[in-house]
Chain A
């Protein structure tokens, strides 16, 4: 439940207000039931930090990432140009998103089509807010828990963001344990490259089941993710191994939200 009004940029502009930052929600964050919880966590944290943020609301469209990775450059560029037109019309300068795929596309691929913005992944922003004392966590909620962090390919290998999410988790007074394959050698959850939207090819195993075994090996109580697609894949992996009682999957933002008692 969100107890404050999340404004769209259109509403803010109409009221003559300016947003500090645009919260790019993404398709998963908007429509996927589980990912919506991450979206709400991010919104609550931004609100608690007194950041004036806005969303595009119904004016947001998919960044085009799955189309581009699947080889449909036409569709990608149509979506990208539509989004860039919208963003530029509102004179957006700074964007935060909880989806590494949106993050990567807007940050790295939009500039060539005329859309240049400062783009932050939510784990980077949360880390900054914690470091600057703009938000504070109350110790205790996760005290003594073992947490392992799963690197999203599009945040980690693709953009070299390995430390921000770990630094956030470490502030929770928990035991952060690494999987054997982590950081630059991290193993994909199986969703990227538009695999999320199709069945896997013939093989011996699903990628997400392989990955969750890495996580289970660490004997962690919590698997932390930073991507809504990884979230789906990891949770399916946990279910596949019947470990729902022992292991929970949370986004880094959800952990902070809980620790902030929001």
Chain B
């Protein structure tokens, strides 16, 4: 009974904080400008099923695809076992779902294999990061918290899976003493011999089994509450983020409606602005709140895998630009703005910083707008859009493009071509030999 009360108490606290922090992320995302993505529901569901559930874009790199798929399947399916832990915790039962009999036994066995797979995959992931030292995990932007975050996640997963397997091992030993037979244990049966020589009493075994059980579920609660502060939040946001994917051609860069009205007024002075028309106050993206909520959701969905950066032509030719850093900067700045709002009773107080304090001009001007980063992202994040929006601010608000681009702009204005040729010579090629 005490155990049940304790369980309810711990789970309530864990869920309370989890919901609270998700609420904060939701609030932060909604600080972005509105964009209507409520169209094409069928197409959106299809994209989500394919890209998030089906992980189709992961397949471009087969090794991490397989490893990640195991961890992903583990995450989804082992949650069924967590459901049982929940039921057992609340009602004080033991293996409540065993009423399903043979199916249950099969499932437990399958979960064990999966848990072992997750454990091995996470070890390989750690090796890729710290032994093989894959290039995309050595970037500058990962120094500090980002690396620590990745390592923490992998260790927690390894420990949780180990606890699950150990719990099953003790349970088997108890069952052997009691002569019962629930579940199948293709993996944890190999842990049993390690403890058999100690000849623990059944009471001790029950204590050990309970300890593993509590360790596992408290670990899960802690991990759950770590998510909102981690890149690992992608396990949740990958789904809505792919649902709200850009469905237009990748080459289609958004039209700035605020500019259209201004240009119309400029080109034809007879055009009358409607009474309700308010001249826009600023153009492009200065701070995260000028981005759309989808851009901000992208930032919270990013798990910093670096496929974008490793396919960026500018990055692998040694330039500063890294699409992953753009996403990390956006999230960092958004978190900062969110904390500012929290600290100032719900209103943002100017802190003399903006997104440009995080992303330098050198990064912004290097982009080829080639869409390689967009193509590479396994969950359809778009770093390029943020780059172009920030360029818009640089050009239209600060007039601070590189001088060569300013020359190109004046050529376009004067000659309708990016070079200094007379527009009257445009058809000369028809005459030349």
Name the interface residues of A197-237: CB closer than 8 Å to any CB of B. 197-207, 210-211
B370 close to A74 (CB less than 8 A) = no
CA distance A77 to B317 in the complex (A): 33
Report the minimal beta-carbon distance from A103 to chain B, rounded to whole angstroms.
9
6 A-B pairs with C-beta separation under 8 A:
A30-B421, A30-B425, A109-B253, A158-B249, A197-B418, A207-B317
Closest to B317 in A: A205
Name the interface residues of B232-289: CB closer than 8 Å to any CB of A. 248-253, 255-256, 259-260, 262-264, 266-267, 283-284
A75 close to B284 (CB less than 8 A) = no
Q: Does B365 contact A (CB under 8 A)?
A: yes
Name the interface residues of B376-412: CB closer than 8 Å to any CB of A. 388, 390-396, 401-402, 404-405, 407-409, 412
A72 close to B396 (CB less than 8 A) = yes
CA distance A6 to B430 in the complex (A): 6
A185 close to B311 (CB less than 8 A) = yes
CA distance A43 to B222 in the complex (A): 68
User: Quick one: which of B314, B319, B392, B412 has the most chain A CB within 10 A?
Assistant: B412
- Known contacts A1-B433, A6-B430, A108-B252; decide if A153 and B264 are in contact (CB<8 Å): no
A200 close to B319 (CB less than 8 A) = yes
Closest to B315 in A: A203
A185 close to B60 (CB less than 8 A) = yes
Report the minimal beta-carbon distance from A115 to chain B, rounded to whole angstroms.
12
A192 close to B368 (CB less than 8 A) = yes
CA distance A77 to B413 in the complex (A): 12
A 147-163 binary contact with B (CB < 8 Å = 1; else 0): 00000011001111000
| B interface residues (Cβ-Cβ under 8 A, vs A) | 60, 248-253, 255-256, 259-260, 262-264, 266-267, 283-284, 311, 313-314, 316-321, 362, 365-372, 374-375, 388, 390-396, 401-402, 404-405, 407-409, 412-413, 416-419, 421, 423-430, 432-433
Q: Which of A13-21, A59-67, A89-97, A253-261 forms part of the interface with chain B?
A: A59-67
Q: Number of A-B pairs whose CB atoms are under 8 Å?
A: 213
CA distance A196 to B417 in the complex (A): 13
Closest to B284 in A: A71
- Known contacts A36-B429, A77-B263, A198-B404; decide if A70 and B362 are in contact (CB<8 Å): no
Closest to A67 in B: B412
Report the minimal beta-carbon distance from A30 to chain B, rounded to whole angstroms.
5
User: Quick one: which of A61, A72, A75, A210 has the most chain B CB within 10 A?
Assistant: A72
A 164-194 binary contact with B (CB < 8 Å = 1; else 0): 0000000000000000000011011011111
A77 close to B313 (CB less than 8 A) = no
Closest to A71 in B: B391
- Known contacts A71-B391, A108-B248, A158-B251; decide if A79 and B425 are in contact (CB<8 Å): no
Name the interface residues of A43-65: CB closer than 8 Å to any CB of B. 43, 55, 57-58, 60-62, 64
User: Which residue in A31, A108, A211 is a CB contact (below 8 Å) of B249?
Assistant: A108
CA distance A136 to B409 in the complex (A): 42
B313 close to A210 (CB less than 8 A) = yes
In the complex, besides A75-B409, A157-B374, A202-B319, 18 extra interface pairs with C-beta distance below 8 angstroms are A66-B412, A66-B418, A71-B393, A73-B259, A79-B416, A108-B252, A113-B255, A154-B251, A157-B251, A158-B249, A160-B249, A197-B404, A197-B405, A198-B402, A200-B319, A203-B319, A204-B317, A205-B317
B368 close to A25 (CB less than 8 A) = no
User: Which residue in B250, B266, B413, B423 is a CB contact (below 8 Å) of A157?
Assistant: B250
B424 close to A58 (CB less than 8 A) = yes
A 67-88 binary contact with B (CB < 8 Å = 1; else 0): 1111111110111011000000
CA distance A70 to B407 in the complex (A): 12
CA distance A14 to B338 in the complex (A): 63
Number of interface residues of A (CB under 8 A): 72
User: Quick one: which of A2, A25, A68, A159 has the most chain B CB within 10 A?
Assistant: A68
| A interface residues (Cβ-Cβ under 8 A, vs B) | 1-2, 5-6, 8, 25, 27, 29-31, 36, 39-40, 43, 55, 57-58, 60-62, 64, 66-75, 77-79, 81-82, 104, 107-109, 112-113, 153-154, 157-160, 184-185, 187-188, 190-207, 210-211
CA distance A58 to B419 in the complex (A): 15
Report the minimal beta-carbon distance from B424 to chain A, rounded to whole angstroms.
6
CB neighbours of A57 from chain B (8 A):
426-427
CB neighbours of A72 from chain B (8 A):
392, 395-396, 401, 409
CB neighbours of B369 from chain A (8 A):
69, 153, 192-193
B426 close to A153 (CB less than 8 A) = no
- Known contacts A108-B249, A197-B405, A198-B402; decide if A30 and B370 are in contact (CB<8 Å): no
B427 close to A198 (CB less than 8 A) = no
CA distance A71 to B412 in the complex (A): 14
Closest to A153 in B: B370
Closest to B364 in A: A71
CB neighbours of A64 from chain B (8 A):
412
- Known contacts A70-B408, A157-B371; decide if A203 and B417 are in contact (CB<8 Å): no
- Known contacts A31-B417, A74-B263, A153-B370; decide if A69 and B317 are in contact (CB<8 Å): no
- Known contacts A192-B370, A197-B418; decide if A203 and B395 are in contact (CB<8 Å): no
Q: 7 tightest CB-CB pairs across the interface, nearest first?
A: A158-B251, A71-B391, A204-B318, A193-B369, A61-B416, A203-B318, A188-B370
CB neighbours of A159 from chain B (8 A):
249-251
Report the minimal beta-carbon distance from A102 to chain B, rounded to whole angstroms.
11
Closest to B369 in A: A193
B418 close to A27 (CB less than 8 A) = yes
CA distance A72 to B406 in the complex (A): 10
Report the minimal beta-carbon distance from B126 to chain A, rounded to whole angstroms.
27
B412 close to A75 (CB less than 8 A) = yes
User: Which residue in B321, B416, B427 is a CB contact (below 8 Å) of A55?
Assistant: B427
User: Which residue in A112, A158, A199 is a CB contact (below 8 Å) of B404?
Assistant: A199
User: Which residue in B252, B372, B408 is a CB contact (below 8 Å) of A109?
Assistant: B252
CB neighbours of B427 from chain A (8 A):
6, 8, 25, 30, 55, 57-58
Report the minimal beta-carbon distance from B101 to chain A, rounded to whole angstroms.
48
Closest to A204 in B: B318
CA distance A81 to B369 in the complex (A): 23
User: Which residue in B250, B393, B429 is a CB contact (below 8 Å) of A30?
Assistant: B429
B255 close to A112 (CB less than 8 A) = yes
Report the minimal beta-carbon distance from B373 to chain A, rounded to whole angstroms.
10
